[in-house]
Amino acid sequence: MIFNRLRNSLRRAVTTGGLEASRMMQKAGLMTGARGIGAIFTLHHVRPRIDKEFAPNAHLEVTPEFLDAALTQLTSDGYRFLALSDLPAYLAAGDFSQPVAIFTLDDGYRNNVEHAQPVFTRHRVPFTLFVTGGFTDKTHTLWWETLAELLGNNSEITFDFGKGERLVPLHSSAERQAAFDRFASHIATGDEAQAVEALNRAARRYRVDPDLIVERLTLHATELQTLLLNPLASLGGHTISHRALARLTEDEALGEITGSLDSIEAITGQRPTTFAYPYGDHRAGEREYRLARQVGVAVAVTTHPGVLTGDVTEELTALPRISLNGYYQTPETVSALASGIPFRLRKI
């Protein structure tokens, strides 16, 4: 768990280092040609900031004010906003004279409608919500949210990580973060469904209700229908259970992808052509990219950082995205990230 934290803070430091360098390069006029043809952005929660002592998911959260500033910045940087589902046609047309910015929001949070939608509407920016079928119908839970609440509410708990019931100390922020990392790696390495179910059972013992959390945080089918009355909004698939697809059998992974497209089609009457892999990192790979293509997904996105190249060989079911997250909420950062330079520097 300590390694996870170290790795995360290193990753953050490297990205921040890249940001600093790219700002300097921007100032020196070395930006030209580095940004590819544009970028796809990832958001999760968009809501006013609530300061909490223990906020392990803070990186998944931006404020509406930041989103507003980011859109203003991208507009003044000369970006044109595009819906994700329009990307194949845009690439086929081959006119890349103006860079494009595409906005996506993962998981289907209610605050996306409440706090992000008005901002997108004001700027006339299309946006795609990647909806997790099991969150929409409340048959599955958000383990990272359940975990944050369970660990934040208690000074110690007991849990069986596989070697019997053990005491997990939660007296300080450091202990809570260490526990969060331990649970996260337990979920990422064991049977994900079983590990999440065990977490849910533990949470209920400590009066944290995982079902209430998914109910409170995520949109219902009727809310999705209402959202789609806004012509700027569209929906994409994000599986049913939000499990790491690469760790499932091919049949299970296929079922997760098609299941999410089916569930959205049942709600909206339209089959989505876009999809986002849960977690989006190494927990999806070539097999999943192929499965997505196979079932008619036109555009699928990862969370591998990077910009769009416009290259004809670009894999449309494995596109990189730029995460706009809680670590660096300034418009200059958005400019720098969209430039693609930080990602190039990371590879050096």
- Chain residues that interact with Zn ion, rule: CB under 5 A: 106-107, 278
Q: Which is nearer to Zn ion, 38 or 278 (CB)?
A: 278
Helices (H), 132-232: 133-136, 143-153, 173-189, 192-205, 210-217, 221-227
Which residue's beta carbon is nearest to the bound Zn ion? 106
Q: Which is nearer to Zn ion, 323 or 339 (CB)?
A: 323
DSSP 8-state secondary structure symbol assigned to residue 86: G
CB of 193 to Zn ion, least distance (A): 16
Determine the number of helices (DSSP H) and then strands (DSSP E) in the chain.
15, 12
Phi/psi at 159 (5° precision): -155, 150
Strand ranges (E), 228-340: 233-237, 274-276, 299-301, 322-323
CB of 11 to Zn ion, least distance (A): 19
Distance, C-alpha 83 to centroid of its chain: 17
CB of 242 to Zn ion, least distance (A): 6
> Is the sign of the CA dihedral 4, 324, 322, 76 positive or negative?
negative
Q: Which is nearer to Zn ion, 145 or 178 (CB)?
A: 145
Q: Which is nearer to Zn ion, 142 or 203 (CB)?
A: 142
- Interatomic CA distance for residues 39 and 81, integer angstroms: 10
CB of 121 to Zn ion, least distance (A): 24
Tokens of 103: 């906005």
Q: Which is nearer to Zn ion, 126 or 278 (CB)?
A: 278
CB of 319 to Zn ion, least distance (A): 16
